[in-house]
Amino acid sequence: MMLRRWMAAGLVAVATAGVLNAVPAAAERPYDPTAQSLRALGQRHGLYVGTAVDMAALADPAEPRYREIVRDEFSTVTAENVMKWESLEPTRGTYDWSAADELVATARRNGQKVRGHVLVWHSQLPKWLTDGVADGSIDNTELRSILRKHITTVASRYRGRIWQWDVVNEAVSDPWDTPSTLHYKGFWAEHLGPGYVADAFRWARAADPTALLFYNDYNIEAFGSGDPANDKTQFVYDMVKGLLARGVPIDGVGSQGHLGTQYGNYDTLQVADALHRFAGLGLSTAFTEVDVRSRLTDGVQAGDSEEINPRLQASAANFHVLLQACLAEPRCLSFTVWGFTDRHSWVPGTFDDPPQGLATIYDENYQPKRAYQVMKADLIYAGPPYVRMRATPKPRR
Ligand code: XIL
């Protein structure tokens, strides 16, 4: 129908004005890709485009645009906070599922997949747990069984409703940490030793046979820190390779993608190379928490366009690099941004000395920024032979 109307319009135009004028105006074209949402454009590649969701903003009657954009632009969602342990089990033995259930129900209504975030992490743990360990009332044997119970409880509750679970988050140190060689860091490694990583994947698999199980971390966008002994990406690569060799049911590696325009960062080929290497192990990949923050200098805060423009452009360029690299690897299943608007972004509250912000793809008034347009163009102007349909992996047993 659309096609016939276009042809008819074209014929009239040819007859009256000649071939060169025969192209109809954008509004009359049968398919205007620039009018499509990110989620619709991603679908052409089988790529899911996602966002972290702030449940307070989602429920706020004064924020209808927040809900609309979540619904219209994204095909997968992640709970920004409400599936973390401190939110789910604030008091020992009493789970509060309300907000997490709401996220899952919203996703279902919107026809979206859910990335479960997160089963094991050293941060945002309930106080009763960290206090109990600190005062010795919870010993390491009990701690291990508490962790097992938590993973089993949460993964079982959402069994069949989670597409990808971040089973273990941020287990590996950074080159600037002490000790300065890379190591397993944090609460869980300190108390249970590095073996907790394999245990967590096995427990998650036992509780949910259908979810894809991910290891998730930051600063693993590319290989090559200069010093191979301090290459976090290489450490994670070796770790997941070792897990696979031991038959641990891990399906993917999530690269968070928290970048800043003040850093050197990467080009598309470096990032695509990293994704290809993880895929070479038989793993899926995903960008799970992308945002690209900038220093809010005095000039930026005063509205000086000479300071703002280069930052917005650099931010967009980094979104482009990560998305283009993801498109280039058919095992890169999803591209999730960590909040989509500067109005609700974790960046200003977390990186405040010196102040940072401008990290997302919409401004504080829900106007799409350069980064949004760049993502859209990446999704539009990509296709075979180098950008192919995503693979559909089977969960590893
Ligand atoms: C952040 C949230 O965005 C904040 O609202 C919260 O206060 C702290 O955690 N890596 C992760 C995410 O895996 O869970 C973090 O989310 C951001 C860094």
Atom from ligand 1 closest to the CA of residue 338: 3
* Closest Cα to atom 15 of ligand 1: 80
Ligand 1 site-directed mutation target among 55, 123, 220, 352, most atoms within 8 Å of CB: 123
CB-based contact 87:54 (threshold 8 Å): no
List Cα–Cα distances, 377 to 298, 312, 321, 340, 373, in angstroms: 32, 16, 12, 17, 6
Question: Six-digit token pair at 278?
Answer: 């993880």
Q: For the chain, what's the residue count?
A: 397
Distance 80 CA to ligand 1 centre (A): 6
pLDDT at 4 over 80: no
Q: What is the pLDDT of residue 27?
A: 61
Whether the pLDDT of residue 307 is over 70: the answer is: yes
Q: Which of 79-93, 214-228, 235-249, 304-318 has the lowest mean pLDDT?
A: 214-228
| Tens-place pLDDT, residues 117-175 | 999 999 999 999 999 999 999 999 999 999 999 999 999 999 999 999 999 999 999 99
* pLDDT at position 298: 98
DSSP 120: E
The number of the ligand 1 atom at minimal distance from the alpha carbon of 117 is 14
Q: What mean pLDDT comes out for the span 360-378?
A: 98
State the Cα–Cα distance between residues 318 and 320, nearest whole angstrom.
5
Q: Which fold has domain 38-77+162-382?
A: TIM Barrel (3.20.20)
Q: Which residue, judged by its Cα, is nearest atom 16 of ligand 1?
A: 80
Give the per-residue pLDDT at 67.
98
pLDDT at 3 over 80: no
Torsional sign, CA 280, 223, 379, 342? positive
81 CB under 6 A from ligand 1?
A: yes
Percent of the chain with pLDDT over 90: 89
- Asked if residue 12 has pLDDT above 60, the reply is no
Going from the Cα of 345 to the center of ligand 1, the distance in angstroms, rounded, reads 10
Which atom of ligand 1 is closest in space to residue 170's alpha carbon?
Answer: 13
- Compute the distance from residue 394 Cα to the ligand 1 centre, in Å: 28
Question: Token pair 């650099």 is at which residue?
Answer: 314
8: pLDDT strictly greater than 80: no
Q: Is ligand 1 within 6 A of the CB of residue 80?
A: yes
For residue 240, the CA-to-ligand 1 centroid distance in Å is 23
Bridge partner residues of 165 (DSSP): 116, 213
Mean pLDDT score of the chain, rounded to an integer?
94
| Ligand 1 atom, smallest distance to 84 CA | 14
pLDDT at 17 over 90: no
Q: How confident is the model at residue 22 (pLDDT cuts 50, 70, 90)?
A: low
Using the predicted structure, report yes or no on whether residue 7 has a pLDDT greater than 70.
Answer: no
Please state, for a pLDDT cut of 70, what percent of the chain lies above it.
93
Q: In the chain, where are the structural domains located?
A: 38-77+162-382
Centroid of ligand 1 to alpha carbon of 256 (angstroms) = 11
Residue 26: pLDDT band (50, 70, 90) is low
Q: Is the CB–ligand 1 distance for residue 346 below 6 Å?
A: yes
Beta strands in the chain (DSSP E): 48-53, 76-79, 113-120, 164-169, 212-217, 252-255, 258-260, 284-295, 332-337, 356-357
pLDDT at site 276: 98
Q: Is the CB of 169 under 6 A from ligand 1?
A: yes
Ligand 1, from 84, 214, 253, 346: best to mutate by most atoms within 8 Å of Cβ? 346
Tell how far the Cα of 260 is from the centroid of ligand 1, in angstroms. Answer: 16
> Mind listing the pLDDT tens digit for each residue in 224-259?
977 878 999 999 999 999 999 999 999 999 999 999
* 219 closest CA partner among 174, 157, 264, 280: 174
Point out the residues that are catalytic: 170, 289
- Alpha-helical (H) ranges within 281-360 are 298-301, 305-328, 347-350
- Average pLDDT score over residue span 295-320: 98
What is the pTM for the complete model shown?
0.93
pLDDT at 20 > cutoff 70: no
Q: For residue 14, name the pLDDT band (cuts at 50, 70, 90).
A: very low
